[in-house]
Amino acid sequence: MLARSLPCVSFRSSPRAQRVWPRPFRALLARFPSIFRTVSSYAGVRSWWRRRIEMLVEKIPVLLVVVPLGGLAIIHLLFHQSHQLSLAVAPLFLFSVLGPWAVSDTANVAPLSQALAPDGYPPSAAWDTAEPTAFNADWQGKNADPELETQVRLLWTPETLYLHFRSRYRTLTFFPDAAPSGRRDHLWDRDVVEVFLQPDPTYPGHYFEFEVSPNGFWIDLDIEHGERSDPNSGMKCRTHIDEKSKIWTAEVAIPLRSLALHFGPSSVWRANFFRVEGAAEPRFYSSWRPTNTPQPNFHVPTAFGKLKFLPPAESK
C-alpha cells in the first residue's frame, strides 16, 4: 500500500448550527469528524475517498434537515399525485445526497511536498496524494466504457507540472519509429494520452498540446488559432505497460517556464484530457470534458475544464 501524506482538514460548525442543535447533539457532531479521521487513517482510506467523505461529513447538519424533508416530499408526491412544494423540495433532497459525488469541471493539481526520486520524477507515494480525474466516455460524453477508463493525477512545484496517466486498454497500437529524442509527429494517429493546457484563459485561441504513446514517444505543440508550432517545451516522459492487467501508464514532466512567463499558483488555468485507442476507425476517442462536436475533435478550447493549483499545506 502506498504511503499517504495529506493536509490536515478542519471540521468546524457554523454559529447558526450551534444555535439550532441542542448541546449534547452538537457535542456528538463535534466529535464525529475526529473519530472519522482516526478510523480512516488507520484503515488506509484513499485520499480521494477521504475528501468525498469529509465533504459529506461537513454537510451533516444540512443533511439531517434536508434529507428527511426531501424524503417526505417524495412520499407526498407519490401518494398525492402532484404538489408544488413537493416538486420544489424533491430536487433538494437528491442534490443534498448526490452533490458531494457529482462530477466536477475542475481538476486539482496537488503540491509536490516530497523530494524527487533519483530519476527526476515524483516518487510513487507522492502520486497518491493527488486527486484522480477519471473519464471513460467518448468526446460527446456518450458510450462510456469502464474497460477503457483513463485516470489522471497532477502534481506541481514552482518549476514543473507533473502528470500521471493510468489507462486501461484492450489492444495497443503505436508507431515503431520516432526521432532520436522520441518526438514523433502525427502521434495521434495511434494510441495516445493527451493533455491540452491553456495557462491564459483570456486568450482562448492559444493553448499547448502534449501527447504520449504507450511506447514512450511524445509530441508537444503550441497551438495558436489552429496553427501548430514546436514550443521546445523541454517536456520529458516515461511509460510502462502491464500486459497482465492491461494497463499502461505514462508520467509527464513539463517545465512551467515553457507554459507561462510568470507562474502563479493562485491562477486558474483551463485544460482538457484525452485518450485515443484503436488502429483503424471507428477508434475510441475519449475526453474528460466533452467537446460535443459532430465528429471527433479535441481542439475546442471553449469546452476545456478548469485546472486549480492547490496551495502547499503550510499556506492553508
Instruction: Report helix, strand or coil for 129.
Output: coil
**Whole-structure pTM over 0.75, yes or no?**
no
144 pLDDT tier (thresholds 50, 70, 90): very high
Q: Is the pLDDT of residue 50 over 80?
A: no
Residue 90 DSSP label: H
Section 256-264 average pLDDT: 93
The 10s digit of each residue's pLDDT in 297-307 is 999 999 999 99
Instruction: Report helix, strand or coil for 49.
Output: helix
Strand 227-229 with 218-224, pairing = antiparallel
pLDDT the model gives residue 55:
47
Q: Is the pLDDT of residue 310 over 80?
A: yes
Q: Is the pLDDT of residue 115 over 70?
A: yes
pLDDT the model gives residue 88:
54
Domains of the chain listed by start with CATH number:
15-101 (no CATH), 106-315 (2.60.40.1190)
The 10 Å Cβ neighbour count of residue 153 is 25
The 10s digit of each residue's pLDDT in 234-259 is 999 999 999 999 999 999 999 999 99
Instruction: Report helix, strand or coil for 316.
Output: coil
pLDDT the model gives residue 13:
37
Angle at which helices 47-58 and 23-43 cross, to 10°:
180
Contacts of 47 (CB under 8 A, 6+ apart): 4, 6, 128, 129, 130, 131
Q: Which carries the bigger pLDDT value, residue 294 or residue 79?
A: 294
